[in-house]
Amino acid sequence: MASTRQIPFITSGKSLGGQAYEALRDSIITLKLEPGQTIFESEIADTFRISRTPIRDAFQLLVMEHLIEVLPQRHKKIARISESKVKESSFVRLSLESSAFRLAAGSWDSSEKFVQAERQISRILREQSEAAEHQDVVQFLQLDEAFHKCVLELTGNATLLEVVYHMRGHLNRLRYLAMKELGLTPKLVEEHLELFDSLKKRDEARTVQLLEQHLGSLSHEIPQLREQFPDYFID
């Protein structure tokens, strides 16, 4: 069972509730807090060395995302990975990102916005390749998210970014587990490089085709992971 001692400490800066939410969410996605694990507001508050009020606020947000479940007598636990929720999230993600990547490819030009995006993506992919070499799955997943976010930001659609962020919680737990247990990181780097190339070439059809292949491996990964970690999953 994972320990709450693995959760990052709160620092100064953002609101305590916001930091607690982000730290807990990251710990759930990277399985520091395991699916099915009982979690207590008082214990988390002690770990963060803050009062229970911001922890309670963070818990409420995570309940809304279906990452924490409320049990009888108000006990709470980390939600198991729902196969149906993962598939639903994957469908929504592909639908939204296909439109965004197509728009980015069709708009790609030599303007400053795209020059900066090209520099940023090149840096992300270099760092992601290094993370893959060192099997740093947490860093790899963060860079994976950064790659997709960078492309989505080119659409100028803030609502799209917000929706995609909040609907990926269940999906990203599965992706983290797959990267960690199935050794997918080198393959994903190559797929990102191909996507980047097709974006720069303004090839909309190829970009969408590559994205569908990139995001469409769940049907192969879920059975393997469910067999290996049966207690992590529900239908």
What does the pLDDT read at residue 146? 94
Separation CA 226–CA 166 (nearest Å): 24
- Owner of token pair 């520099």: 119
pLDDT tens column, 16-50: 888 888 999 999 999 999 999 999 988 988 888 88
Please list, residue by residue across 52-85, b when 16 or more beta carbons sit within 10 angstroms of its beta carbon and e when fewer do.
eebbebbbebbeebebbeeeeeeebbbbbbbbeb
What does the pLDDT read at residue 2? 47
Mean pLDDT of 200-212: 96
Mention every residue, 6+ apart, whose C-beta is less than 8 A from residue 149.
161
Q: What percent of the chain has pLDDT over 70?
A: 94
Token duo for residue 225 = 């992971």
Mean pLDDT of 190-201: 96
Question: Among 72-76, 100-104, 116-120, 192-196, which is the least confidently predicted range?
Answer: 72-76
Whether residue 105 is predicted with pLDDT greater than 90 in this model: the reply is yes
CATH class, domain 82-234, is: mainly alpha
Ranges of CATH 1.20.120.530 domains, the chain: 82-234
Mention every residue, 6+ apart, whose C-beta is less than 8 A from residue 4.
33, 39, 43, 44, 47
82 phi and psi, to 5 degrees?
Answer: -85, 120
Whether residue 5 is predicted with pLDDT greater than 50 in this model: the reply is no
CATH 1.10.10.10 fits 4-79, yes or no: yes
Q: What angle do CA 47, 50, 54 make, to 5 degrees?
A: 110
Q: What percent of the chain has pLDDT over 90?
A: 58
State how far the alpha carbon of 79 is from the alpha carbons of 27, 38, 69, 105, 235, in Å.
Answer: 13, 9, 6, 37, 12
Task: Count the neighbouring beta carbons within 10 Å of the beta carbon of residue 223.
Answer: 11
Question: Among 68-72, 78-82, 104-108, which is the least confidently predicted range?
Answer: 68-72
Please list, residue by residue across 119-140, b when 16 or more beta carbons sit within 10 angstroms of its beta carbon and e when fewer do.
eebeebbebbbebbeeebbbeb
Ranges of CATH 1.10.10.10 domains, the chain: 4-79
